[in-house]
Amino acid sequence: MEQVIVNALYLGSQYAMIALGLTLIFALMNVLNFAHGQMYVLGGFVTYTIYGRLGFPFIVALLGTAVTLAIVGALIEYFLFRPVIRRSVREESTMLLAAGIAFLLDAVILLVFGEKQRGVPKILDGVFNWDFRIILPYDRILVCVLAIMSIAGFIAFMQFTKTGRALRAFAQDRVAAELMGVNVDRYSMIGFALGAMLAGLVGGLLVTITGVNLGMGGPVSIKAFMMVMIGGAGVISGAIAGGFILGALEAVGLAVLSQYGDITYLLIFASLMVFLSFRPQGLMGKPWG
Amino acid sequence: MNTFKINQLIGVAIFLFSVFVAVPYAIAASGRWDFYYTLTSVALLSIASAGVWLTFYIGRINIGQGAFALIGGYVSAILVTKAGLSFWLTLPLAGLFCAFIAVLIGLPILRLRGVYFAMVTLVLTEVSRLTMLALPITNGAKGIVSIPLPGALSIFGLTLIPDFSMLKNDKLAFYYVACVLMVICFAGMYRLVNSRFGHLCRSLQQNEELASSIGVNIAYLRIVVFAISSFLGGIGGAMFVAISQSIYPSSFQVSDSINFMLNCFLGGLGYVFGPMLGTLTLYFGWSLLFELGKYQLLIYSSLLIFLMLVLPNGLLSIRFSKMKGVQK
């Protein structure tokens, strides 16, 4: 039982971080970022290169990943999303663009890093063992703690800095924020960069445990969409709640249903259907975004 | 719209002639038999894309067609291999089963709109893949292989379709079957869109609240459209399985669902025959880029992004004024 709770926390902290980035981008620009999973994979590969190949300390690798992904996100926003959003009349066109970017990132990752599964040496050895009730390797604990710290840091950033305040205002009401003197162009770039950075950071954290390969991007995006559906799109607290709920469901599913085969996700999806028929906007979302 | 103009009739005649006479003749003359497989795939994928197009027609972005193609394929494969039914019986059964699933899932999710609906249907695709991996009857990741070719179909002793395993050239046979299905599907779509039902669907696309306030039963209409869409997806998937004689959980996945959606966009959401054109362009474009080897995906996606940058409102912002006559 204790093991399940700990597993839920561990999964939930990563998931919440992934969902945060996605929901931030959605809240600011009303863009469903299909390429989120690919950014996660890219982050994993950057960390792999800096930490695994070049041999720098892990924390340097994480910082490098954050900076790289932030730059990639900012460039994507500036050169691709901004012109399309300005000229398009339907919201579907940004979805198509995002799908195209997902394909593009896949292609770039394939060309630069190859299609092999990559792993890095463990950052910490040993296993935490509490009376055989909770067994968790130390590196997983570290990853979990780092993830929770990043989430806390992100929330603090959004709450207490001027940029964060501008971003929140922007997410709440685009026009009103613009009238109050928020530079919308600049802040959508910052927001996109932040979202990409969060995705990349999770990728960088998890490369130490699961490794990274090209095919991981799609499933990660899908899970992020599920969390956002649970929590409500475009709401930060909702994304965190959604992440932890999905993590808990998955941990329980793995513990309880393992003898019936891998039907956890079918059940999660079925319950999501039931949930959405009562609350189409998710736990904390505004109706229709 | 309901009265056929003379040039529309000519267009249909040219289209039918080229599909059923000119293309087989050209392929026989040039000896490129592999084109049959490509064209058959295009025909089947355009059937599934037509389903996606129909959900676009009521203003929903459907990225879940891969799920229904997969379900349809598995239903047909299981019925043929385990229950020993004739393939021609399983084809409509697969479609009906998908329509049934669509009604079940559609009841809650069709209340969602825009990006929310797109997200749920995308999740559905992935969930159906995982489910097919997990269920005992689908044989997991190994999939169902060596499915027998479709047998003969005869009514009252009159053989309508000969046994495929007896034919010398089953590629040509599959091509004809796929094209007949495609023609029936698009003729049906054209009829549907230009009927009272189609007009009601258009009212949903524009404003659901307004439509419901003047007495349109929007909940019923949405479910019916989603069921038809999934029916087409199931038919396409089942037929695909018959051709490849195998199905795996990865036969239709998220990227396929996205491609179905892209087909519709590329062809233009305003035209019934858009999905057909879009599938043809996209599939052939992808195949042509195959020559570029590992840069295929890079160039394909760059072209896609470039298209969005130049024409952010999709290809439908160009008027197909010249091609319209040929297509309709």
| pLDDT beyond 80 at B133 | yes
Q: Which residues of chain B neighbour A30 with C-beta distances below 8 Å?
A: 115
Would you say B45 and B266 are in contact if contact means Cβ atoms under 8 Å apart? no
**Helix and strand element counts for chain B (H, E):** 14, 2
Among A199-203, A247-251, B270-274, B277-281, the minimum mean pLDDT is found in: B270-274
Would an 8 Å CB–CB cutoff place A289 in contact with chain B? yes
Long-range contacts, stretch A76-79, CB < 8 angstroms, 24+ apart: A76/A35, A76/A101, A76/A192, A76/A196, A77/A29, A77/A188, A77/A189, A77/A192, A77/A193, A78/A189
| pLDDT beyond 50 at B240 | yes
For the record, the structure tokens of B300 come out as 């394909």
**Domains located in chain A, CATH noted:** 2-278 (1.10.3470)
Would an 8 Å CB–CB cutoff place A92 in contact with chain B? yes
Average pLDDT of chain B, as a whole number: 83
pLDDT bracket for residue B112 (50, 70, 90): confident
Q: B interface mutation test: which of A90, A92, A115, A277 has the most B CBs within 10 A?
A: A92
Per-window interface: A 146-205 vs B, CB < 8 A: none
For the record, the structure tokens of B245 come out as 């004689």
Which letter, b or e, does each residue of A217-250 get, where b requires 16 or more Cβ atoms within 10 Å of its Cβ? bbebbbbbbbbbbbbbbbbbebbbbbbbbbbbbb
| pLDDT beyond 80 at A190 | yes
pLDDT bracket for residue B324 (50, 70, 90): very low
pLDDT bracket for residue A247 (50, 70, 90): very high
For the record, the structure tokens of B86 come out as 């004739």
- What pLDDT, on the 0 to 100 scale, is given for residue A132? 78
Percentage of residues in chain A with pLDDT exceeding 90?
38
A118 strand-pairing partners: A212
How far apart (Å, rounded) are the C-alpha atoms in residues B20 and A276? Answer: 47
- What pLDDT, on the 0 to 100 scale, is given for residue B322? 40
Alpha helices per DSSP H over B194-217: 196-206, 208-213
Instruction: Identify which has the larger pLDDT, B52 or B277.
Output: B52
| E strand or H helix that includes residue A77 | none
- Which of A90, A108, A273 lies at the smallest CB-CB distance from B108? A273
What's the whole-number mean pLDDT along residues B243-252?
87
- Local structure of B157: helix, strand or coil: coil
| pLDDT beyond 50 at B198 | yes
Q: How many CB atoms lie within 10 A of CB B277?
A: 19
- Local structure of B159: helix, strand or coil: strand
Q: Which residue bears the tokens 């529309």?
A: B8
Q: Which residues of chain A neighbour B123 with C-beta distances below 8 Å?
A: 222, 225-226, 229, 269, 272
Would you say B260 and B48 are in contact if contact means Cβ atoms under 8 Å apart? yes
- Which of A103, A107, A266 lies at the smallest CB-CB distance from B131? A266
Closest CA to A44 of A192, A209, A164: A209
CA-nearest residue to B104 within chain A is A273
Would an 8 Å CB–CB cutoff place A106 in contact with chain B? yes
Would an 8 Å CB–CB cutoff place A277 in contact with chain B? yes
In chain B, domain spans: 6-327
Among A14-18, A46-50, B4-8, the minimum mean pLDDT is found in: B4-8
Q: How many CB atoms lie within 10 A of CB A28?
A: 24
Global ipTM:
0.81
